[in-house]
Structure 1
Amino acid sequence: MSAFTDPVPPDETVREGTRRYTLPGSLARNLGLVIALLVLCAVGWFTADVRFLDGDNFVTILRFASVIGVVSVGMTFVITGGGIDLSVGSVLGLSSVWASTLATQTIAGDVHWLVVVFTACAVGAACGLVSGILIAYGKVVAFIATLAMMVAARGLAEIISNKRSQILDVPPFMDFFQSRPLGLPTLVWVFLIVAAMAWVLLNRTTFGRRTIAVGGNAEASRLAGIRVRAHTVALYVICGFCSGLAGAMMIARTTVGSSTHGSLYELDAIAAVVVGGTLLIGGRGTIVGTVLGVLIFSTLNNIFTLNNLSISAQSIVKGAIIVIAVLLQQRFANRPGSSSP
């Protein structure tokens, strides 16, 4: 080989003069998720026929995906940063209860309906702040700190509401969230806007690059000048804020605040995030993958409902879908030339 001959890059394959190109890792993973979603849609079409293909049914899928979708977006940041948050479901319930108290509704009626949303988001962010401080500065393991927050938030929600559902009577709030701009419910638009903003934050800002760096190697990030502890706190505040916003969205969807809202949402959010391609050990995150993961599980639940399947059958199929989605990701992402985003 001549000294002036260009070497073949390690991520490309040349065979008999023909160069074989492969998809980037992020695109390959998302393609696997799209295929899984299309397979689910085909199953829904064959099992539920015209009921599944109805336009209103697709809107229903998006509407039910919106709340857990916002929670999952917040969870994506925490997991990408190398953490975990088991309290998101309980924080959602606490936020919905606090935002629907008589005092909050009275202030919202006198000032503006946005007080309800602000209260829910503030409660969620405060819970995230407490968890973040315990983890970053108190050196408490994330699993334990957020587990404690999960139990405490649910208990506080039950005390505030006296284990009763609180009906929200703020008509402007309900009118806004029950409207359908361009044919889609406002809840869906909120989810799309949150996802778009999160994508920009994670992929186009210094904050996002630092999040990936902290999740990949916290010590190396500290030596590089990143304030790891402050950044970790910020990640949990973002996750808490998203859970609080989801609490307000849950009120809009059900018209009540309840301590039972968000039950087991932490498991659904983690599943959607991991199936979407975010590494559970941190260092790699994808908002697009998370959105696709949420849509997969929302579509799956819709198919279960249309076919009157039992909860036990739902659990079995959910587990199978998680495995299939992960295998599809690996099938595409492990090809030569694929790389992590």
Structure 2
Amino acid sequence: MGEQNAQEQTTPWTDETSRERGDRPSGRAGHVALLFLALAALLAGVVVVLIAQGSIAIPLGEVTAVLTGWGDASEIHRTIVVDARLPKVVAGLLAGAALAVGGAQMQTLFRNPLADPFVLGVSSGAVLGASVVILGTGGVGWLAGLGVLSQLGVSGAAVAGAAGVLLIGLGVARRVGDPVVVLVVGVVLGYLAGAAVDVLVYYTDPDRLQALTAFTRGSVRNVTWDELRIIAIVCGAVLGLSVFLAQPLNALLLGERYAGTLGVHVRRVRLLSLAGVAVLSGVTTAYCGTIGFVGLAAPHLARGLLRTADHRLVLPMSALIGAVVVLAAEYVAGGNGLTGTALPLNSVTAFVGAPVILWVLLTGRVRGEGR
């Protein structure tokens, strides 16, 4: 009876297709395969279009020739694609995919459909670290005028601030087994870091606030190959770890006690997920700014399309959706879309994510009333 109640609590994340519609397994597999192929094709198209567009337009054929190595492309176009545009596209693809996967993990761990990769307050710690360097004290930036070293100092300080919050959050997670307490601690740490940033803003020179605004608005268009290596290592680790966590996360959908009876080491799974996602949110915030709503909305879109909560399908589908959303948002935010002017990436992703969250809340209420 307890297991049955646990199963009921997972709705609307349970597999509705085979239970309610009675689809045959072969038809179900074909439907899922078609979804993955369609999203992969959409992602490839967005990548090519995003690289082709810019202050210097490049024909789609030449972009394809550079990316695939087939055909001829001018040396100028090859340099623009490889040195200027490809790093930002790869960074957006990796960050979107990893943040979406991290969001799916957090929603399962905390059993909260509104959880996302920034739930532990790590991104706020990253912003605080960057603010200390950008704003400095007494209105004088500590690393002002150092050129490249100043930029490296901002990113390094952001990582350090994220690491500080991460250590506190993981310390609480190891000491306290209740995920709700960990969630509350993350929210509190986020508020504390935000308050510290507000104090720095209050006492700083107004001319320096523009630099902080540019950092927090979210963008992948300034990512270099050197920075991309760090982003790729962290995002790759989170994506790789998700492969091994898919089955334990499926067990956690039915409750921690039930998962324990299946041989799942619940505390280890929780710590691995929290550590990976927290490092991810800190590094992406340090190098790409805060990219909000992707980790929150993409998993729900994946579950809605797949009509299942099976993480073996939800995690890769979330990765594809997250990558598409971030790259499409960067296309609009970069001034190539409908607006014709540069916008904060975080604002564009919010226009996508907010309706999804409203849909989750409204459909959840309707289903709750129907039980």
Normalised by the length of structure 2, the TM-score is 0.53
Counterpart residue identity of residue 39, structure 2: L
Q: Are residue 224 (structure 1) and residue 262 (structure 2) matched?
A: yes
CA distance in 2, matches of 1:138, 1:318: 28
Letter in 1 for 2:336: L
Higher relative contact order (CA 8 A, sep 6+): 1
Partner residue in 1 for 2:105: 77
Q: Which runs of 5+ in 1 are unaligned?
A: 1-9, 14-20, 169-177, 251-260, 324-341
Task: Confirm whether residue 94 of structure 1 aligns to residue 125 of structure 2.
Answer: yes
Q: Residues 234 and 146 of structure 1: is their aligned pair in 2 closer, same or farther, counting only changes over 3 Å? A: same
**Which residue matches 1:18?**
none
Preserved CA contact (<8 Å) 1:71 1:269:
yes
Cα distance in 2 between the residues matched to 1:70 and 1:299: 13
Offset of 1:22 from its aligned partner? Answer: 4.5
Alignment match of 1:11 (pick from 18, 21, 25): 25
Distance 1:32 1:230, change over 3 A: same
1:186 and 2:214 matched = no
Change (3 A) 1:267 1:119: same
CA contact (8 A) 1:136 1:229 kept: yes
Task: Give the counterpart of 2:296 among 267, 270, 276.
Answer: 270
SS at match of 2:89: helix
SS of corresponding position for 1:307? coil
Answer yes or no: is 1:247 the counterpart of 2:247.
no
Q: Is 2:358 the counterpart of 1:318?
A: no
Q: 1:216 to 1:90 in 2, by over 3 A?
A: same
Residues 39, 126 of structure 1: alpha-carbon distance in 2 compared, 3 angstrom cutoff = same
1:292 matched to which residue of 2?
320
Matching residue of 1:238: 276
**Paired residues, what number?**
273
Cα distance in structure 1, aligned partners of 2:317 and 2:199: 37
Q: Which residue of 1 aligns with 2:337?
A: 307
Question: Post-superposition shift, 1:292?
Answer: 2.2
1:213 shift after superposition: 1.9
Distance 2:58 2:26 in 1: 46
Aligned match of 1:153: 193
- Deviation string 1:231-258 (CA, Å, 9 cap, x unpaired) is 43443233222222223324xxxxxxxx
* Number of the residue aligned with 2:160: 119
Aligned partners of 1:213 and 1:283 also within 8 Å: no
Query: AA paired with 2:234?
Result: V
Check conservation: 2:165, 2:189, Cα contact below 8 A.
no
Structural mapping, 1:26-37, within 5 Å: 27-37=33-43
Deviation at 1:273, TM superposition (A): 3.8
Secondary structure, aligned partner of 2:311: coil
* Contact 1:92–1:247, Cα closer than 8 Å, also in 2: yes
Q: What is the CA–CA distance in structure 2 between the aligned matches of 1:319 and 1:159, rounded to whole Å?
A: 30
Contact 1:221 1:228 in 2 (8 A): yes
Q: Secondary structure at the match of 2:330?
A: helix
Q: Retained in 2: the 8 A contact 1:276–1:291?
A: no
The answer as to whether partners of 1:80 and 1:284 remain within 8 angstroms in 2 is no
| Alignment partners' CA distance in 1, 2:322 and 2:87 | 14
Note if contact 2:298-2:322 (Cα within 8 Å) is conserved in structure 1.
Answer: yes
CA distance in 2 between counterparts of 1:137 and 1:320 reads 29
Indicate the SS of the match to 2:264. Answer: coil
Structure 1 residues 189, 73: closer, same or farther in 2, change over 3 A?
A: farther
C-alpha displacement at 1:220, in angstroms?
0.9
Letter in 2 for 1:75: G
Conservation of the 8 A alpha-carbon contact between 1:52 and 1:303: no
Identify if the C-alpha distance between structure 1 residues 138 and 46 changes in structure 2 by more than 3 Å, giving closer, same or farther: closer
Letter in 2 for 1:126: L
Q: Quote the Cα distance in structure 1 between the aligned partners of 2:241 and 2:349.
A: 34
- Residues 93 and 326 in structure 2, CA contact (< 8 A), matched pair in contact too: yes
Over the matched positions of the two proteins, sequence identity in percent amounts to 13
Cα 1:115–1:189 shift into 2, 3 Å: closer
